[in-house]
Structures are given as C-alpha cells and as structure tokens.
Structure 1
Amino acid sequence: MAENNGAPIAGDPPPRNETSFERADRNFSEILQELRVTQAGVQILFAFLLTLAFTERFPSLDTVQRATYVTTLLLAVLSAALFTAPAAVHRSLFGQHSKPRIVRVSSRLAGFGMVVLVFALAGSVLLVVDVAVGRTGGIIASAGTLVVCAGLWGLLPVLVRGAGKGEYDDDTGSGTGGSDGVTPSGPRPGAPGQGR
C-alpha cells in the first residue's frame, strides 16, 4: 500500500523534501485512492451476492452451495468493513496530529481487506461455477482464482520491487524518480546552489 516510512534501505531512492506530516498526508491520500478502486469491486460483488438469494434457482441449491453462499457473503461484508475502516479511523482521530499512526493502521486494514477479498472472490467463483458446471469445475475455477489473485496482488509487487532495486544504486544517489516513481519537485537538501 503506502510506502515504508522506516529507515532508508540500500538502493532506496533519495528521500523526498517533505516533513513526516506531509509524507503521512500524501500516503493517506494514496491509500484512499487505492481503496476507491477496491471498494467499487467489493460493492459490485456484495450486490451480486445479495441478489442471488432472491432468484428462482436459489431454493434448489444444495447444502454445500448454501454454505458457500453464506460464507462468501460474510467474507464480502468483512472485506467491505475492512476497506471502509480507514475512513472511520481517520474521522475519530481527525485533528489530533495522528496522521502517521492513521496511515499505518489504514495500510494494515487495507492489506487484511485484500486478503479477505481474495477468498470472497474465490468463494463467489466456486458458487457460480459449481451451479453452472459442477462441483469439480467450481473447485478448479476457485483454485485458479486464488492463484491468479495471489500472483497479481502478492507475487507481482515483490517482483516489481526486486526489479527496481538497482535504480538508485549509482554513486550520485540519483535515479529515475521518487520512491513512488515520481520525480520530487524542488531541489533536494544539500543540492548545489541551495542554502543550508
């Protein structure tokens, strides 16, 4: 989610010219942007699941399918709650100069929300494919959903992070941009022509 606010690691980009509160404001804004994307997906999934219980076919579901439905519905609710919790945390701590703490908590909540969302997606795929094709097809499709989400949401960021490690390792400390790929505006502290 948001960038690590800890000590710099070898190969990290040069630090931005911002205070810790400015960094926290920027990171919280980035978290909110990410949550807007995921919340839309969760809302669509939740609406889809809610309507299933009122279809003509729903009474014909077997016990496993009903259990899958209820579990998936509850996972979607939990995911939505985790994704909206950062707004509640921010609202309750607003004006108390707690933004760095809010960012840390919000980032963790969003991370847990993504994990829960993976299982909600896999459960919904299991249910739909089980009803449409059969139990074996549902299990295979659900496992495939887990693998794809784990690859795109877990493995891909690790690979991208690893691929960018050498971008800032030259002697001058310069690179292609800031810690999030954006070139910092203004001179860096200690740059030529800048007063101390």
Structure 2
Amino acid sequence: MNDDGGPGRDETPQERADRLWTDMLQEVRVCQTGAQILFGFLIGVAFTPRFAALPAFDTNLYTATVVLGAVATGALVAPVAFHRLFAGHDMKPELIHVAGRLIATGLVTLALTIAAALLLLLRTATGNPTASWIISAAVLLWFTTTWLVLPQVVLRRTAARQAAARGRGEVGGDPR
C-alpha cells in the first residue's frame, strides 16, 4: 500500500475512492429520504379542498416550492444514476467529484424547499404574512449557519491549529 490516500491514512487511491463513495452514500441517504417524503407531501397539497381557495401569491409559492422539491429530489437521487452508468469503468474519482456537486446542489435546494414550504404553511396557518416571512428567513439562516458557515469555521480553525503544530515541529498536533 502507499499513502496516496490522504493524511493519516494508509490506503491506495482506489481504496480512498471506495471509502469516499461509501461515506457519500451514507450522507445522501439521510437527506434523500427527507427530500422524497417532503416532495410527496407537497404533491398532495394541490388535491386538497383548501388549495383552490389559496390566493395567487400562495399558489405561485406552492408551485415554486414543488419545483424546488423536485430539483432537490432529482439532485439527491442523481448520484445513484451516475454510479450505475460509471460502474465497471474505473471512474470512481470522477463519480465522487460529480456526486459531491450534485449532493451540494440537492442540499441547497432542499433548504430552499423547506423554507418555502414553511413560508406557505405559516402564511396559511397563521394568516400573518410578516411573521411567516421572518420565521422562514430565520430557518433558512439557521440552515445556512449550520450547513455552511459552521463547517467552514471548523475547517479554518483545524487548518490553523495544524499549521501551528507543524510550525512547532509536532507530528500530529492536538486533536482537540
């Protein structure tokens, strides 16, 4: 074996690709199921008696939400189709690259779908458009913070800590 697999690992590039693909599958399973369930519920809304009474804004918001849900579901399922097409062609690194972008797209559109669905639900349930917008925006901000900002902060802090440890001549640095 060689150490082309990355820092702290003794794996070949193929073993690394296999590990990364397995990790990606586990990650996407979590959000894929939620996206599919949400999309299924959204589809059913149009067939309820109350749907016909929605104002034009809410009907348009519903349409946009369903489209976002379809895009999220498609992006989160797409890595499976890529895997089927790439299987046996020794293209796992390419698969990992494309799947990573599709999963990122799926997560962004899933967050937008949830925020839009929440906006529609709160507008309908509370009749308070201002509070509905504020709460939905706060939820979207929460997703942005926990899904994007916080991981970037952790990456930067870890990189800085590792650079400082290398500068002091430490081998592994403090894992905390």
- TM-score category, normalised to shorter length: 0.7 to 0.9
- Written as runs of structure 1 = structure 2, the 5 A alignment for 1:1-196 is 14-133=7-126, 134-165=128-159, 166-167=161-162, 169-170=165-166, 171-175=169-173
CA RMSD of aligned residues (A): 2.1
Match of 2:124, SS?
Answer: helix
What residue identity is the alignment partner of 1:150? Answer: T
**Residues in 2 aligned to 1:29 and 1:175: alpha-carbon distance in whole angstroms:** 28
Which structure's residues are more often helix, by fraction? Answer: 2
Given the two structures, how large is their TM-score scaled by the length of structure 2? 0.88
Structure 1 segments of 4+ aligned residues over 4 angstroms from their partners: none
Question: Once the 2 structures are TM-superposed, how far is the Cα of residue 148 of structure 1 from its aligned partner?
Answer: 0.7
Given the two structures, how large is their TM-score scaled by the length of structure 1? 0.79
Question: Once the 2 structures are TM-superposed, how far is the Cα of residue 139 of structure 1 from its aligned partner?
Answer: 1.2
Match of 2:69, SS?
Answer: helix
- Which segment drifts farther, 47-56 or 25-34? 47-56
**Greater relative contact order (CA < 8 Å, ≥ 6 in sequence):** 1
Question: Once the 2 structures are TM-superposed, how far is the Cα of residue 145 of structure 1 from its aligned partner?
Answer: 1.6
Match of 2:110, SS?
Answer: helix
Unaligned runs of 5+ in 1: 1-5, 9-13, 182-196
Unaligned runs of 5+ in 2: none
Deviations 1:14-35 (A, max 9, x none): 3411111111111111111010
Cα gap change, 1:176 to 1:107, in 2 (>3 Å): farther
Count of aligned pairs: 168
Match of 1:190 in 2: none
**Residues in 1 aligned to 2:50 and 2:135: alpha-carbon distance in whole angstroms:** 21
